Structure 1
Amino acid sequence: MLGSLSLLWLVAMTTSLVSKAQILTPQDYEEEDDEAVTTPSLAVPCDYDRCRHLQVSCKELQKVGPVACMCPGLSREDQQPDPPRLGEVQMVAEEGCAVVHWCAPFSPVNHYWLLFWESNGAPQRSGPLNATVRRAELKGLKSGGIYILCVVAANDAGESRVPEAGVEGPENWAGSSFGPCRKLIMPPRPVTLVHAAVGVGTALALLSCAALVWHFCLRERWGCPRRQGTAQASEAL
């Protein structure tokens, strides 16, 4: 009797535990594994081009994007910026100007300006240009003039270095493709060439007319040898 009651109690307890237990399927195991393993998102470089005109700073791009991107390394803000790299310079002879392109240095920059001077002339400085600017127009250049052009970057710590004419002459700047300075030779304007051609043609025409007039005046003054010989022959007959 006691053995039967013990057996019934054991069967009841086993049934209760089985009903309360949670059956895990293979799909449940896969979901648990997915939750446990998290793949970290890889940071990508920011869409920043230091030679692009009106380029927003890389710090601003990091704030706008949904995922934090990586910026190129820059020097410290308490150090003067490195020199920019002067790029393509387009000479517009018809308007007497030059369109200057440059690339930003790997340094914090607050603003830029252009420094230029004619050979043996005093340096001239343009107005400040925004830190996003990478292209500017330089006006008032003389036809056939020779200029030295430099791009200067500035921040709170100071200005970027510009080569001195006494140490590094313009002949070195003209061959440098990565420096901040370059020698420019403004070509003559097409209108000036046309005027010169017209002037030379007019001078040649006047010279030819003067030569013809001088020749005929001499013939009228001294007479023509053929006419004198013909006149003498007719008198002899």
Structure 2
Amino acid sequence: FLGALKRLHLPCWTLSPPSQPGRLLLSLKEEVGAPPQDVPCDYQPCKHLQTPCAELQRRSRCRCPGLSGEDTLPDPPRLQEVTETTDTSALVRWCAPNSVVRGYEIRYSPEGRPGNQSVTVVADIYATARQHPLYGLWPGTTYRVCVLAANRAGLSQPPASGRTRACAAFTTKPSFVLIFAGLCAACGLLLVSTLLLAACLCRRGRTPRPQRYDTHLVAYKNPAFDYPLKLQTLS
């Protein structure tokens, strides 16, 4: 058996520690390609469905902007604009604050109607959203809308006179149904007036006209005046 093993001529390798272990670790880091810590993350606070910056930081070891903690009330979002306004709907766009946000809430109400009963609340909007549509609005009405951020500490409070604009006003367009109904009513009124005028003219044309007699004066000579009268004067 030993003679058979000798005839196989199996190769043998020996492992020795590297001469420069520090250079080996540096080469391993270069192969992994980890980015440095001072590179800012590709985070856009106004982009819809934006990945949270904390997740981007875990993926690529980048640097996020300063954010307030979960136990601190979040800063109010910046309401960017209200677009795609129709007679019954609108699209609200906003930018995320520099805070930890777990969700958003939209509150809107028509102006000129005081009271909390007229305020509509749209809650549980996911944290990556930067826009949300509003439906069921009144045509030709001015609304006031506010966007609030939420986390474990509570809801953000709109600033009274701060730089961040968390609220805005917009006006819906007039109802096309009302405009179409008004045009139809005007056309119908014009048609009825035309028919009545035509009926009056037709009835007047069918009425028999009274016979007209010749009323011109006819002069006849009086024979008594054909000869001059001779008046006898008394002497």
Task: Tell me the TM-score normalized by structure 2.
Answer: 0.65
Q: CA deviation at 1:233?
A: 5.0
Instruction: Choose the corresponding residue for 1:51, options 46, 53, 59.
Output: 46
Question: 114, 138, 146: which is aligned to 2:142?
Answer: 146
Q: Give the structure 2 partner of residue 104 of structure 1.
A: 96
Q: Secondary structure at the match of 2:42?
A: coil
Residue in structure 1 matching 2:58, options 55, 59, 63: 63
Bigger mean CA offset, 143-152 vs 186-195: 186-195
Q: Residue 134 in 1 paired to residue 130 in 2?
A: yes
1:163-206 deviation line (CA, Å, top 9, x unaligned): 6xxx89xxxxxxx9951111121102334322321221212222
Cα distance between partner residues in 1 of 2:66 and 2:141: 40
Displacement after TM superposition at 1:70 (Å): 1.3
Find the counterpart in structure 1 of residue 225 from structure 2. none
1-side partners of 2:214 and 2:105: how far apart?
A: 91
> How many residue pairs align between the two structures?
182
Q: Distance in 1 between matches of 2:128 and 2:169?
A: 25
Separation in 1 of the partners of 2:142 and 2:92?
Answer: 16
Distance 1:56 1:145 in 2: 36
- What CA distance in whole angstroms lies between the structure 1 residues aligned with 2:147 and 2:214? 89
Contact 2:45/2:97 (CA < 8 Å) preserved in 1?
Answer: yes
Cα separation, 1, equivalents of 2:164 and 2:188: 47
Name 1:232's counterpart in structure 2: 212
Q: Residues 49 and 55 of structure 1 are in contact (CA less than 8 Å); yes or no, is this contact kept in structure 2?
A: yes
Task: Work out the CA distance in 1 between the residues paired with 2:100 and 2:66.
Answer: 10
Which residue is equivalent to 1:195? Answer: 181
Distance 1:138 1:49, change over 3 A: same
- SS of 1:128's equivalent? strand
Q: In the TM superposition, what is the alpha-carbon distance from 1:118 to its structure 2 partner? A: 1.9
Is 1:180 the counterpart of 2:203? The answer is no
CA gap 1:52/1:151 in 2 versus in 1, 3 angstroms: same
Q: Which amino acid aligns with 1:136?
A: H
Distance in 2 of aligned mates of 1:101 and 1:46: 22
Report the AA paired with residue 44 of structure 1: V
Equivalent position of 2:73 in the other structure: 80
| Counterparts of 2:106 and 2:200, CA distance in 1 | 59
5+ long unaligned stretches in structure 2: 1-22, 28-34, 219-235
| Corresponding residue number in structure 2 for 1:204 | 190
Counterpart residue type for residue 107 of structure 1? S
**RMSD between aligned alpha carbons?**
3.5
User: What letter corresponds to residue 143 of structure 2 in structure 1?
Assistant: Y
Q: Which amino acid in the other structure matches residue 183 of structure 2?
A: A
Residues 215 and 161 of structure 1, relative CA distance in 2, 3 Å threshold: farther
Q: Percent identity?
A: 35
Distance in 1, Cα, partners of 2:36 & 2:129 = 33
Q: Is residue 86–residue 177 contact of structure 1 (8 Å, CA) maintained in 2?
A: no
Write the mapping of 1:207-218 to structure 2, written as runs, cut at 5 A.
Answer: 207-213=193-199
Structure 1's unaligned 5+ residue stretches are 1-30, 169-175
Please give the secondary structure, in 2, of the residue aligned with 1:162.
coil
Alpha-carbon distance, 1:132 to partner: 0.8
Runs ≥4 in structure 1, deviation > 6 angstroms? none
Alpha-carbon distance between aligned partners in 1 of 2:57 and 2:63, rounded to the nearest angstrom: 8
Question: Does structure 1 retain, via aligned residues, the 8 Å contact 2:108–2:144?
Answer: yes
**Distance in 2 of aligned mates of 1:42 and 1:142:** 51
